[in-house]
């Protein structure tokens, strides 16, 4: 599970690092959060295809999935792209993608993020609808608050294989297996520019904080890159996770 891929440097990191990780770790499935892949704001068809060509099997997203309008018609296509499940009915796209016996679900949180349908109830409804169809269920909760992510992890413990958080672009050190067998981490982190504030030029972000005035955020396009992800090992016979560990890299 790869953290939020941000802009050109993020896509470069996936293209550079992922092929070696596929061999080194013997990966069976790779999922990346791609909602910031197109210039830091949204996902378009070209950047999605670039991630797929680099070895990504599926793409999850979040609140920025709507920023690039051209991707919207493709959300209902055969492309393995998920938008958050808990948007209102009839919203374009789907909240999950399937890989044989594996179900990848995308949720969005509500604390400090926006007004969405309840992610807890949305997940309950999906698990009931697909009862027994998938042993392995992995959830990307795109949310701001650590408490909301941990709450979802405990709520789904034993009902899904893994609950990982995205959105903050800051990797957390709380990887663990919950008591009933669900792997958990509060945030995968980011794939993008190291010398940035969550991907953006520091001076732009500082202007917002210091002057409280609107400031367009430019995504950093050069310099060292960080690659944040986690490796999750799952017993296919039970759907329970057996291990979760951070896989982080940096390069120039």
pLDDT tens, 50-83? 999 999 999 999 999 999 999 999 999 999 999 9
pLDDT score, position 132: 84
List CB contacts of 248: < 8 A, sequence separation 6 or more.
171, 189, 226, 227, 228, 229
pLDDT tens, 192-222? 999 999 999 999 999 999 999 999 999 999 9
The C-alpha atoms of residue 28 and residue 215 are separated, in whole angstroms, by 42
The C-alpha atoms of residue 93 and residue 59 are separated, in whole angstroms, by 12
List CB contacts of 76: < 8 A, sequence separation 6 or more.
92, 93, 94
pLDDT score, position 200: 96
Nearest to 83 by CA among 68, 102, 105, 99: 105
The C-alpha atoms of residue 36 and residue 45 are separated, in whole angstroms, by 13
18, 38, 71, 112 from 241: Cα distances, Å:
22, 32, 33, 30
The distance between the two most distant Cα atoms of the chain, rounded to a whole number of Å, is 56
pTM of the model as a whole? 0.96
Catalytic residue of the set 64, 134, 167, 169: 64
Q: Is residue 64 annotated as part of the catalytic site, yes or no? A: yes
The C-alpha atoms of residue 10 and residue 36 are separated, in whole angstroms, by 9
Indicate whether 154 pLDDT > 90: yes
The C-alpha atoms of residue 7 and residue 116 are separated, in whole angstroms, by 26
What domains can you pick out in the chain, each with its CATH number?
Answer: 4-251 (3.60.21.10)
pLDDT score, position 136: 97
pLDDT tens, 17-58? 999 999 999 999 999 999 999 999 999 999 999 999 999 999
Share above pLDDT 70 across residues of the chain, in percent, rounded to a whole number: 100
User: Taking all residues of the chain, what is their mean pLDDT, rounded to a whole number?
Assistant: 97
Handedness of CA 170, 171, 174, 175 (dihedral sign): positive
Indicate whether 239 pLDDT > 90: yes
User: Beta strands 96-99 and 102-108: pairing type?
Assistant: antiparallel
> Which residues on adjacent β-strands are paired with residue 5?
191
């Amino acid at each position: 599970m790869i953290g939020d891929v941000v802009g050109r440097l993020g896509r470069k990191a996936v293209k550079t690092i992922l092929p070696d990780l596929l061999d080194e770790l013997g990966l069976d499935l790779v999922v990346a959060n791609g909602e910031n892949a197109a210039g830091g704001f949204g996902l378009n068809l070209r950047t999605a295809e670039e991630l797929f060509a680099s070895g990504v099997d599926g793409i999850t997203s979040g609140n920025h999935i709507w920023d690039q309008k051209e991707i919207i018609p493709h959300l209902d296509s055969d492309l393995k792209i998920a938008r958050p499940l808990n948007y209102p009915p009839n919203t374009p796209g789907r909240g999950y993608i399937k890989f044989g016996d594996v179900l990848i679900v995308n949720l969005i949180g509500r604390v400090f993020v926006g007004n969405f349908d309840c992610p807890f109830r949305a997940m309950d409804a999906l698990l009931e609808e697909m009862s027994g169809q998938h042993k392995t269920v992995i959830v990307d909760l795109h949310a701001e608050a650590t408490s909301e992510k941990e709450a979802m992890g405990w709520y789904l413990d034993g009902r899904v294989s893994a609950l990982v958080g995205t959105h903050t672009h800051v990797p957390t050190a709380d990887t663990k297996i919950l008591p009933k067998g669900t792997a958990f981490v509060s945030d995968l982190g980011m794939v993008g520019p190291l010398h940035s504030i969550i991907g953006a030029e520091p001076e732009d972000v500082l202007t917002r904080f210091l002057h409280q005035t609107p400031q367009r955020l430019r995504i950093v396009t050069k310099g060292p890159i960080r690659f944040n992800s986690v490796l999750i090992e799952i017993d296919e016979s039970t759907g329970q996770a057996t291990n979760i560990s951070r896989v982080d890299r940096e390069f120039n």
